[in-house]
Amino acid sequence: MRGLTDPEAIGRQEFCERFAAGMRERMVASYFKYGPVEESQGKVDYMKSMHQRLKSYDETGNTEFLMDAANFLMIEFMFPRHPAAYFAPTDSRESPGRVDVDGQRTFGDRNADIDPEETRRRREASDRALQSFRRERGD
């Protein structure tokens, strides 16, 4: 694998400053609209608010909702409601993995190694099995 080695260059490629700036702009606007975020402790459920924004994104495709969702995650980080919240760096052995476009969990697969054709074949096989099951059930 060939790629970038300079951490600064990697950061420029792999991090979206426009997204982070959008988060910040929305936090500033919210300060004037709602008041200091610290005052929302015990009054706002940040995780439910985040899920609400993800649902709105799924329904509309408006990426502003992603910025809002990220802000609610940041606020949960700042003022955790989870009774046992803590921060501890983890390694790949403790990772829950990622989910590919077929809904399968992947662990440690490099992006270049995820095979879209295999994913498509698995999805088609799953769809055929579901259709067969529904036919047998009389749906």
Residue 102 and residue 123 in contact, taking contact as beta carbons nearer than 8 Å: yes
DSSP helix/strand/coil, 106? strand
pLDDT at 2 over 70: no
Report if residue 103 sits inside a domain. yes
- 18 and 71, same structural domain? yes
Task: Tell me, yes or no, whether 51 lies in a domain.
Answer: yes
68 and 22 in a common domain: yes
Q: Do 71 and 22 share a structural domain?
A: yes
Q: Same domain for 17 and 77?
A: yes
Total number of domains constituting the chain: 2
Regarding whether 76 and 37 lie in a shared domain, the answer is yes
- pLDDT tens digits, one per residue of 11-56: 999 999 999 999 999 999 999 999 999 999 999 999 999 999 999 9
Range of the domain at 103: 99-139
